[in-house]
Chains A and B, each alone.
Chain A
Amino acid sequence: MNKAQKTILFIIWLAVMIWGLTGVFRRLVHGELLVNYGSYVPWGLWVAAKTYFVGISVGASILAWVVYAFDIKQLRPVVRPALLVSAATMAAGLIVISFDLGHMWRTYEVFTRPNFSSMLAIATWLSMAHLIYVIAALTIELKPGRTHSSTLRIMGWFGLFLAVTFSGGNGAEFAAMISSPYWHSSLGPIMSIGGALLSGVALVLASVALFPFSPEQDNPQLLKILSRTVVGLIFFILLLEWSEFSISMWYARGEDYNLLYSILFGPYAYVFWFFHIISGSIIPLILLLWKPAQRLSAGFGGAMVAVFYFAVRLNHVIPGQVTPAMKGLQQAYTDKWLTFAYFPSSNEWAVFGFSVALSVAIFYLGIRYLPFSTTNSIEERGE
Chain B
Amino acid sequence: MKKSALPCRESKPMEKENSAFKPPVTNLKRRKFLKNSFIAIGGLGTITGLAVNNVFAGEQTAASPLKDPESFADGSHLERMRVELLRALEKPVDQRKWVMVIDQQKCVGCSACTVSCNSENNLPPGVVYRPVTKVEVGKYPDVSWVFTPRPCMQCDNPPCVSGCPVNATWKREDGIVVIDYDICIGCRNCIAACPYNARTADFGDFFGLETPEIMDYETRPNFEYSKEWPRNPGSHESPIGNARKCTFCLHRVRVGMLPACVTTCLGGATSFGDYNDENSLVHELVGSGRAKRMKEELGTAPSVYYLI
A interface residues with partner B (beta carbon < 8 Å) = 31-33, 35, 38-40, 42-43, 100-104, 106-107, 109-110, 113-115, 117-121, 124, 176-180, 321, 324-329, 331-333, 335-338
Contact = CB atoms under 8 A, between A and B. Distances in A.
21 contacts: A32-B241, A39-B128, A40-B197, A42-B201, A102-B184, A103-B185, A103-B236, A106-B183, A113-B6, A115-B164, A115-B166, A118-B163, A118-B189, A120-B187, A121-B166, A177-B159, A177-B193, A325-B194, A325-B196, A331-B134, A338-B126
Contacts of B242: 102-103
Given A32-B241, A101-B185, A109-B185, A325 B164 contact: no
Nearest to A124: B165
Contacts of B252: none
A263 B298 CA distance: 25
Given A103-B184, A329-B150, A115 B165 contact: yes
Contacts of A118: 162-165, 189
Interface residues of B, number: 56
A106 B163 contact: no
Given A102-B188, A329-B133, A115 B201 contact: no
B197 A324 contact: yes
Contacts of A124: 165
A328 B203 contact: no
Contacts of B4: 115, 117
Nearest to A100: B187
Interface in B140-164: 148, 150, 159, 162-164
B280 interface: no
Contact of B195 (A102, A110, A325, A328): A325
B78 to A, nearest CB: 25
Given A39-B200, A103-B236, A321-B192, 13 more contacts: A31-B203, A32-B203, A38-B126, A42-B192, A104-B186, A115-B162, A117-B162, A118-B189, A120-B165, A120-B189, A178-B193, A178-B298, A329-B197
B2 to A, nearest CB: 6
B116 interface: no
B117 to A, nearest CB: 10
A105 to B, nearest CB: 9
Nearest to A119: B163
B109 to A, nearest CB: 10
Nearest to B148: A326
Contacts of A325: 194-198, 295
B131 A332 contact: yes
A178 B194 CA distance: 8
**By CB atoms of chain B within 10 A, which of A32, A33, A115, A121 has the most?**
A115
Contact of A332 (B132, B186, B204): B132
B204 A33 contact: yes
A102 B185 contact: yes
A113 B183 contact: yes
A26 to B, nearest CB: 13
Interface in B194-242: 194-205, 209, 236, 238, 240-242
A336 B133 contact: no
Nearest to B297: A178
Contacts of B185: 101-104, 106-107, 109-110
A106 B243 CA distance: 14
A103 B186 contact: yes
A329 B2 CA distance: 31
A332 B115 CA distance: 12
A109 B167 CA distance: 9
